[in-house]
Amino acid sequence: MKNGMLAAMLRTPGAITLENVERPDPGPGEILLKVEACALCGTDKRVLAGQKPVSVPIIGHEIAGTIAALGQGVRPGLAAGMRCAVQTVIGCGDCPMCLVHRENLCERGFTAIGYAYNGGFSEYILIPAAAVAQGCLIPLPNMMDAELGTLLEPLSCGINGLRDIPFAGMGHVGVVGAGVIGTLNGLIARARGAKRVSIFNRSQGKLDVLAGLRLPFDDLVNMAVTDPAAWIAGETGGRGLDCVILSASEKSLAGRCLPWLARGGHLSLFAGMPKDDCVEPIDLNLIHYRELHLHGANSSVRRDYEEAMEMLTSGRIDGKSLITDRFPLKEFAAAVRKQNDPASGALKVVILP
């Protein structure tokens, strides 16, 4: 194939094949990006397992690369050879939310790269004209390599989801979930001023990974062997936590976490729940009488990527330490196995085409 490229193709749920496919040419307003790095995430795991539908055969949305070619009429400021990260969310551009650059809350429903448009588990990706016009290609500074650039997407989601929580001077924050998202949320809370950050998880393997990385967390609590409610009561003198960030997609944990909060505390429902099983009873009087605050979280927009870039380049968050494994695209299946194995020691796995 004269203008071919290697891609990890999702033909049926759970079945990825490596194929040589036609490399796209950019049309009007479009950009062809040479993928330098694309990281695996928890959502990819659900897609590969058939639990989350997508409308394209190539997934992957934590992307960094180099502009290879531009279609006619691309807006000024973008040029061949420029290194960029890719903002995933594409809004309609016309609704009230999009007009204030909150495309993640698009009233017509946003589309996303790696879901509605082919993603980054390939040698090249075509960035659609709507994404280019919106500003979804974000230039990377020279000091940031491509694999670190893949962290901008998940970190930006944490920055958006936690934006309205007043961490500065906050005493004690708990994060439920020790995967990449929980880890990043804990690091954001610390960077924004939380004095003590505790990670709760039911898998000791994940906690051991965090301990080995020497991340700035104060406590790593195994919920399988330690009752978190009793532990929190003992550690806080009965007050409770100032904030709990739920980074695990298990709906029963939402109601379970509420009593862990101190009066005036904050609960971030960061993790999405299965759409066919997302209703859970909670004690509304706890919210009422303790004046608790609930926060949702839904993807991110460009401002969040820019703040994520500042956190990574300034050293407020050490992103490099989170990337534990790197695989070439031809070893995509092995990368997925490593990411999915709780005993593998992997935290963030990056594909380098």
| Domain 4-156+300-352 fold | Quinone Oxidoreductase; Chain A, domain 1 (3.90.180)
Q: Average pLDDT, stretch 30-41? A: 97
Q: What is the pLDDT of residue 207?
A: 96
pTM of the model: 0.95
Q: Domain limits of the chain?
A: 4-156+300-352, 163-296
Q: What is the pLDDT of residue 47?
A: 87
Per residue in 311-335, pLDDT tens?
999 999 999 999 999 999 999 999 9
pLDDT level of residue 191 (50, 70, 90 thresholds): very high
pLDDT of 1 higher than 70 = no
pLDDT level of residue 15 (50, 70, 90 thresholds): confident
Q: What is the pLDDT of residue 257?
A: 96
- CB atoms < 10 A from the CB of 25, how many? 11
Q: Average pLDDT, stretch 142-156? A: 97
pLDDT of 243 higher than 70 = yes
Per residue in 45-81, pLDDT tens?
888 888 888 999 999 999 999 999 999 999 889 999 9
pLDDT of 136 higher than 70 = yes
Q: Average pLDDT, stretch 125-149? A: 97
Q: What is the pLDDT of residue 2?
A: 67
Mean pLDDT score across all residues of the chain: 95
pLDDT of 13 higher than 80 = no
What proportion of the chain, given as a percentage, has pLDDT over 90?
Answer: 88
| Domain 163-296 fold | Rossmann fold (3.40.50)
